[in-house]
């Protein structure tokens, strides 16, 4: 059975392991960034557990004005927990657990929690091959991103809540 909870500082190492296993090259956040995100905004860091083991997570920050290519924001510089716009930084499931519908379960729970918190819009960036996946989750395509994070091409998407 899937269980969800907000991240605790002791979760950082496991989340870093999942992030580095699931993302390519420089795309993964560092342990320091993950620890900082948990410390600064645990309400925006949702953990997915299966049989008591952390197998995935989604994390975010909130802003009044969203600039998707802002690298400093990934360290929550400019984050305001009361702002209406949510910016997702990572949606990740351990590769050993992918293909089981867990990313959908994670996103459904995340969206439910953001609605409950009174947020108005969720933004994210993804690679081109993930665009159809996020469209199925209810996101709309916005534009190619100015970001070249990890030396890759990104696409911006959003969902009105």
Hey, where are the domains in the chain? 2-160
- Alpha carbon distance 38, 13 (integer Å): 11
Write down the pTM of the prediction.
0.93
User: Can you give the pLDDT at residue 149?
Assistant: 67
Q: Sort 151 into a burial class: Cβ within 10 Å, 0-12 / 13-18 / 19+.
A: exposed
Per-residue pLDDT of the chain (161 residues; tens, 9 = 90+): 899 999 999 999 999 999 999 987 677 889 999 999 999 999 999 999 999 999 999 999 999 999 887 888 888 999 999 999 999 999 999 999 999 999 999 999 999 999 999 999 999 999 899 999 999 999 999 999 887 766 778 899 999 99
CATH topology of domain 2-160: Aminopeptidase (3.40.630)
């Amino acid at each position: 059975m899937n269980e969800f909870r907000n991240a605790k500082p002791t979760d950082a190492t496991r989340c870093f392991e999942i992030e580095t296993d699931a993302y390519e090259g420089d795309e993964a956040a560092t342990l320091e960034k993950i620890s900082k995100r948990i410390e600064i905004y645990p309400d925006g860091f949702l953990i997915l557990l299966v049989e008591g083991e952390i197998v995935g997570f989604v994390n975010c920050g909130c802003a009044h004005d969203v600039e998707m290519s802002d690298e400093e924001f990934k360290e929550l510089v400019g984050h305001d927990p009361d702002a209406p716009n949510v910016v997702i930084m990572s949606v990740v499931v351990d590769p050993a657990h992918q293909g089981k519908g867990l990313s959908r379960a994670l996103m459904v729970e995340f969206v439910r929690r953001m609605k409950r918190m009174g947020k108005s819009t969720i933004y994210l960036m993804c690679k081109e091959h993930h665009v159809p996946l996020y469209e199925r989750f209810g996101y709309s395509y916005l534009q190619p991103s100015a970001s070249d994070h990890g030396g890759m091409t990104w696409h911006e998407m959003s969902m009105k809540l």
